[in-house]
Amino acid sequence: MLVTLSEERIEAIDIDSSGETGGIADVVFTRILDEIIEGQTLNVDDISGASVTSKGVLNGVARAVRQAGANPEALRSRPKAPSALDSEIDDNIATSNTPAATGDGILLGQSVGADLVGMGFSQMIPVSDPVTGALFTGLQVPPANFIMVNTKGKRFVDEYGSRDQLSQAAIDNGGLFYLIADENIKETAYNTSQEKIDAQVEAGTLFKANTLEELAEQINIDPATLVETITNYNLYVDAGHDPEFDKGAFDLKVEKAPFYATPRKPATHHTMGGLKIDTHAHVINEDGKIIKGLFAAGEVAGGLHAGNRLGGNSLTDIFTFGRIATDTAIAEYLD
């Protein structure tokens, strides 16, 4: 690594990456270096699936700064680069939601002066159909049975991670990836039937083969790479430890034919923002006052889930604040 410094800034970072495997390492050697120089900061997030390489780059730059007589801790305390605050996604990104979900409740609230909160936060679901955004195509299995490989046949993330972690890792790897399964893992799928599976295989939206090598050829992946990836994964299941990505939980190995590959890609799924409410479900206007007679509960309201909603928590939100809104309205207008 060669770090070029002037009196006031980091001017350039050059790394000889000839000894590194392509793919996710390429992302490290572009995005992390760009963010360091753009923001003149070491406050840079690791790349999902390449945390060791990411930390190596950041520590290397920190050592160079220290050797030049400057303080790397000062750079670590600086804000992130502007480009680090937003991830670029395709303009034609799909959504898991119904076409009827167009935010009409938010527009209705705004028409009478309602304030909004958290409108900058949206959530992606990582395991959506790459064309339609639908959740219930292919083989959707419990996360302990997720084996996610990129278009080069390699795992790239702890598959038991949170939705935002998995989505970001997928985006960093080009978006499209595959969930690999065998016959045993297929039996844990909660969204399908053999009839649906056969129809999707026939349509070419789900891939099935008697060997991993044949499966790899169907999805244009090097067979040896996919076999190595799955062999290593099976060893990690036996050992109960994933030295590559420290997967949080394991269940089944990939070992019984036939084998399956479900193409997946992140899609927009949930917006954390919405109408501002108080603890009694009153809608609040832009002056911070209650809008008389207007209540909100569920996904039309914002501020409940901060920047990242936990899966299933919208149901708690709906039932809890729906009941609170009802109790408040009864107390204020009927008692």
Q: Which CB contacts under 8 angstroms, 24+ apart, belong to 82-87?
A: 82/38, 82/39, 83/34, 83/35, 83/38, 84/35, 84/39, 84/44, 84/45, 87/168, 87/171
Beta bridge partners of residue 117, listed in sequence order: 274
Pick the catalytic residue: 31, 63, 155, 163? 163
Residue with tokens 């690594």: 1
Q: Could you confirm whether 76 is annotated as catalytic?
A: no
| 3-state class (DSSP) for residue 56 | helix
Cα 70 to Cα 6, 75, 91, 279: the distances in Å are 11, 9, 42, 49
Please name the residue ranges forming H helices in 173-268. Answer: 183-186, 194-203, 212-218, 223-239
Beta bridge partners of residue 283, listed in sequence order: 277
Name the nearest CA neighbour of 182 among 144, 208, 154: 208
How many other C-beta atoms lie within 10 A of the C-beta of residue 223? Answer: 15
Backbone dihedral angles phi then psi of residue 291, each to the nearest 5 degrees: -90, 110
- Which residues participate in catalysis according to the annotation? 163
